[in-house]
Amino acid sequence: MAKKYWIMKSEPSEFGIDELARKKTVFWDGVRNYQVRNMFRDDMNVGDMALFYHSNCREIGIVGEMEIVKSADTDPSQFISEHKYFDSKSNPDAPCWLGPVVGFVKMFSRTVSLDELKADAIFSNLQFLKKGNRLSVIEITKKQYQVICRLTKTKNEI
């Protein structure tokens, strides 16, 4: 199976790259979008690589790299009534919501900003750059992944 590449968004006030760096691996919980759930289930595999994107914060953009270390499994938060991601319609025998386990790879020395992504034609097809798109996870090409990783380097690192 060919390795795939992803961008996964999170608000750093909820869960950020610093927390992932401390914990090393975490279950990516709280996704409540059927399209993303289906990507987790059908398309995302162990060994795939993902870029960590901070959204809804002062410095919006790509801040780090992680790896998918465990395939999609049941998101336990959907069954905890006092949890913010509780879903009363989800059934433990047929859960609605899934998530992968991600592992920290590295924090980038600089953020690749949303404006930088919008300015480069190679990213013109990225779903989350389009107005009204609310997907928190998107698949990208290997070439797009490599370009973003190059953009993270400071002049001293090149």
Q: How far apart are CA 28 and CA 6, in angstroms?
A: 13
Phi and psi at residue 101, in whole multiples of 5°? -100, 130
**What's the mean per-residue pLDDT of the chain?**
92
Amino acid at 155: K
Q: How far apart are CA 48 and CA 1, in angstroms?
A: 10
Residue range 130-142, pLDDT digits in tens? 777 778 999 999 9
- Kindly give the residue spans of alpha helices, DSSP state H, lying in 17-123: 17-23, 34-42, 114-119
Strand order in the sheet with 49-54: 25-27, 98-113, 61-74, 49-54, 5-10, 137-140
Answer yes or no: is pLDDT of 157 > 60: no
For Cα atoms 14, 60, 145, give the angle at the middle one, nearest 5 degrees. 100
Residues 6+ away with beta carbon under 8 Å from 21: 64, 104, 107
Answer yes or no: is pLDDT of 113 > 90: yes
Task: Look at residue 54 in the predicted model and tell me its pLDDT.
Answer: 96
Sign of CA dihedral 106, 133, 126, 59: negative
- The larger pLDDT score, comparing residue 156 to residue 126, is at 126
Residue range 22-31, pLDDT digits in tens? 999 999 999 9
Question: Helix, strand, or coil here: 46?
Answer: coil
Share of the chain above pLDDT 70, in %: 97
Specify the pTM: 0.92
Residue with tokens 């949303």: 114
Domains of the chain: 5-151 (3.10.590.10)
Mean pLDDT, residues 40-53 taken together: 98
- The larger pLDDT score, comparing residue 1 to residue 106, is at 106
Q: Distance of CA 61 to CAs 80, 94, 141, Å?
A: 31, 35, 18
Task: Look at residue 154 in the predicted model and tell me its pLDDT.
Answer: 63
Mean pLDDT, residues 111-136 taken together: 86
Task: Look at residue 7 in the predicted model and tell me its pLDDT.
Answer: 96
Sign of CA dihedral 77, 24, 140, 108: positive
